[in-house]
A and B are shown apart, each in its own frame.
Chain A
Amino acid sequence: MPEEAKPQPLRVAIDGLDLEVQVAARTSLLDALRSAGIAVDSECGGRGTCGECRVRFFDGAPPPTVEDAALLSPDDLAAGWRLACLTFLAADCRVAIPQRVARARRARIRILTEAAAPAARAEGQRRTGYGIAVDVGTTTVVCYLMDLARALQLGVDSFANPQSAFGPDVVARIAYAHRGPPELRELQRRLVSHLEKSFASLCRSAGVPPDAVSIVAAAGNMTMMHLLRGVDPWPLGVAPYEPVFMQLPPFPAGEIGFKRFARCDLQVLPGVGGHVGSDIVAGVLGLDLARQPGLSLFIDLGTNGEVVLASKRILAGASCAAGPAFEGVHISSGMPALPGAIERVDDEDGRLQLETIDSLRPAGLCGSGLIDAVALLLRRGLILPSGRFLAPSKAPDMIPDDLLHRLREDGGERRFLLVEGNGDIAITQQDIREVQLAKAAVRATIDLLLRESDLQAEAIDAVFVAGGFGSSLRSESILALGIVPEGVRGRIHAAGNTAGLGAKLALVYPGRMREAHRLARRMRHVELVSREDFRQAFAESMTFPAPA
């Protein structure tokens, strides 16, 4: 039986407050400070974008993250300043928290890592010139222009994947691509022409001549990797759901239709097997999970959910068809995580509280808002653990009036109104069923991966949740729905776009690209969908945990 060395709790000494906090390894410093009762502002909710939670390390500073480098100057980084929200502790440390944390001005130039920073991970040689890292998502594509020699991020651009017109999910794209070579070429051409436009605009904004871009590193799920290369991904769509290739030798971008950037060396990060693609390898690389003594659980809550168990000793990944509920698709009032989407739902003194992205008028419900809302309904007893809505007439007295009057029943279907009037925003019984299916797929995958490795949830030192909703996702709500086991409470972190992070590292440091290949070979792909124990776990996981 594989045994994970249970790391000792880490000690965080807080300068000036004469206080020492003990925390589990891989806890975010922000969580650690909050758990010690120290209020730290974080306007962005731990997303690493506002810079309010900056703290200064005197000892044990971890290597700066991309977000650190984006918001803090090289001098600050060298002096030990970091963002508490995205600093996942790996060693004892001593920190100071500024009394009044001034909101950092966004640095114009973003830095990936700063070699001079104390205790930074020793990165190998860098490349020279300019490069572009690409995260090809099924829904969204993100491109990062990098100054390779200085490891500087010069710009970032994102766009909706133009292939969406041919199907919202990978299975629909696979079916379309398989119609024939013209369809396959069309999917490739659409993506490449948008990439080229995005590259050109990044270069223009940063004043970099397109000819100076010599290398592109791309990560994406297995289907996106195939469509980018122009390879019919059909075998991924039928049992046993295996890819045509898992890795590709680097090739000139001109081979897949790039024109201005035709001479760029295109390096696609390697995938693992089945639907576990290079976006997952990039995530594990970016979060540096496979070199830690402690055990991490990495979850990508996309339409295709992926789950990885990672440590120095264990590296196993599985994918599951979670369905698009967590991305706000197939949900009656659902929408992607765009401005106006309800991203947080809570109640205060029995009154419903909603927060939308950019504080705009609510336009719909995105994944994190949906998860929050279902958690609230469970907590207040408006839905039962079976997922069924209470009959409004049978609701017990203890349910606050503001919530109860939002529970409606028309035409036999029950729903909960979040926003009333002019295009109601509501959660229907059917929406709850979609959430149950999605969460059961993810949870069953987690449980089976743990079982495979002979481990309990309690053995997990840190959980990282990646996905479109990033850090607006609340660990409390993820636990309330039972998406992750109760045993990981207190150790859940939102990880944001980890595929982009890994692609950037592999772009700048050839050593990290080699590491990606080693990771992909090391990671064991666990195929679950055909297994009877998975089916059983899936069915059992559809029920929600009883509220505490």
Chain B
Amino acid sequence: MELADITRSLIDGDAPGTAALTQQALDAGLAAHTVLNEALIPGMTQVGDLFEKNEYFVPELLLAARAMYAALDLLRPKLTEGDYEPAGKAVIGTVQGDLHDIGKKLVGIMLEGNGFAVVDLGADVSPERFMEAVRESGAKLVGLSALLTTTLPSMEKTVQALKELDPSLKVMVGGAPVTQAFADSIGADGYGRDASAAVTLARRLLGNA
């Protein structure tokens, strides 16, 4: 049994296979953080590359995510503090007035798949709920999504509220009507054009690129 088999199985979106191989690895005495860092995260990174190159699309990404979560469920109880440090913590959500969820969900998957701890607040999230989640989780990074031109003002309002709460907080934005110029104009720290770009951006904003 090789870690590369777990990676391959994850890229192929085979959830039962990935879980079975992960269990085998644990039974063989491999540490949970080794499986995570050397099999799952490289797998999701490759999935992200394929997605960015337009070879993978939403369904393949969701299948890979299902495989990843199947493996993570087995690893989590064994990931003890000390030997495992998340790449960072992020709060994400779709802004108030916007019920579109899928793009933001993909960002969450890719962040988790790259070792981030993610608090996903869902869709139609008010600035107050974002602030509350930041306070509760202590996250230093927030990701905002908007799919409608009409909810861009809501994104701006949320960025302002978060920056008032804590000017050192990093806010990244994305979604179909969002552009780099818009992100700059509302004082966001970064713009990611897709889920994969969001990971690179998150790493850069938290200074662990």
Residues in A lying within 8 Å of B, measured CB to CB: 167, 171-172, 174-175, 178, 234, 237-241, 386-388, 412-413, 429-430, 433, 436, 529-530, 535, 538-540, 542-543
Chain B residue nearest to A543 in the complex (CB): B59
For chains A and B in complex, what number of residue pairs have CB atoms within 8 angstroms? 65
Q: Is the CB of A387 within 8 A of B57?
A: yes
Given the complex, which residues of A lie within 8 Å of B150, measured CB to CB? 171, 174-175, 178, 234, 237-238
Task: Give bound CA distance, A472 to B88, whole Å.
Answer: 53
Q: Is the CB of A239 within 8 A of B55?
A: no
Within 8 A of A (CB), among B29-66: 53-60, 62
B206 at the interface (CB under 8 A from A): no
Give the B interface residue count (CB, 8 A): 25
Given the complex, which residues of A lie within 8 Å of B57, measured CB to CB? 386-388, 433, 436, 542
Binding stretch for chain A, among B1-9, B99-107, B167-175, B195-203: B99-107
Given the complex, which residues of A lie within 8 Å of B152, measured CB to CB? 175
Q: Is the CB of B124 within 8 A of A386?
A: no
Contact among A530, A539, A540, A542 with B99 in the assembled complex (CB-CB below 8 Å): A530
Q: Is the CB of B59 within 8 A of A539?
A: yes
Given the complex, which residues of A lie within 8 Å of B56, measured CB to CB? 388
Within 8 A of A (CB), among B82-116: 96-102, 105
Task: Give bound CA distance, A412 to B152, whole Å.
Answer: 33
Task: Give bound CA distance, A388 to B53, whole Å.
Answer: 11
Given the complex, which residues of A lie within 8 Å of B59, measured CB to CB? 386, 539-540, 542-543
Given the complex, which residues of A lie within 8 Å of B154, measured CB to CB? 238
B180 at the interface (CB under 8 A from A): no
Q: Is the CB of B102 within 8 A of A239?
A: no
Mostly, the B contact residues are loop
Q: Is the CB of A239 within 8 A of B54?
A: no
Q: Is the CB of B54 within 8 A of A433?
A: yes
Q: Is the CB of B102 within 8 A of A539?
A: yes
B148 at the interface (CB under 8 A from A): yes
Given the complex, which residues of A lie within 8 Å of B123, measured CB to CB? 239, 530
Given the complex, which residues of B lie within 8 Å of A172, measured CB to CB? 149
Q: Is the CB of A539 within 8 A of B62?
A: yes
B151 at the interface (CB under 8 A from A): yes
Knowing A171-B150, A239-B124, say if A413 contacts B98 (CB, 8 Å): no
Nearest CB on B from A200, distance (A): 34
Given the complex, which residues of B lie within 8 Å of A167, measured CB to CB? 149
Interface centre among B57, B59, B102, B150 (most CB of A within 10 A): B150
16 cross-chain CB contacts under 8 A: A171-B150, A175-B149, A175-B150, A178-B150, A237-B97, A237-B148, A238-B97, A238-B151, A241-B99, A386-B59, A386-B60, A388-B56, A388-B57, A530-B123, A535-B101, A540-B59
Nearest CB on A from B158, distance (A): 14
Given the complex, which residues of A lie within 8 Å of B148, measured CB to CB? 171, 237-238
Given the complex, which residues of B lie within 8 Å of A540, measured CB to CB? 59
Given the complex, which residues of A lie within 8 Å of B100, measured CB to CB? 529
The 6 lowest CB-CB distance pairs between A and B, nearest first, are A237-B150, A238-B97, A175-B149, A530-B99, A429-B54, A529-B99
Task: Give bound CA distance, A386 to B58, whole Å.
Answer: 9
Task: Give bound CA distance, A357 to B53, whole Å.
Answer: 34
Task: Give bound CA distance, A174 to B152, whole Å.
Answer: 12
Chain A residue nearest to B100 in the complex (CB): A529
Nearest CB on A from B175, distance (A): 12
Chain B residue nearest to A413 in the complex (CB): B54
Task: Give bound CA distance, A539 to B99, whole Å.
Answer: 15
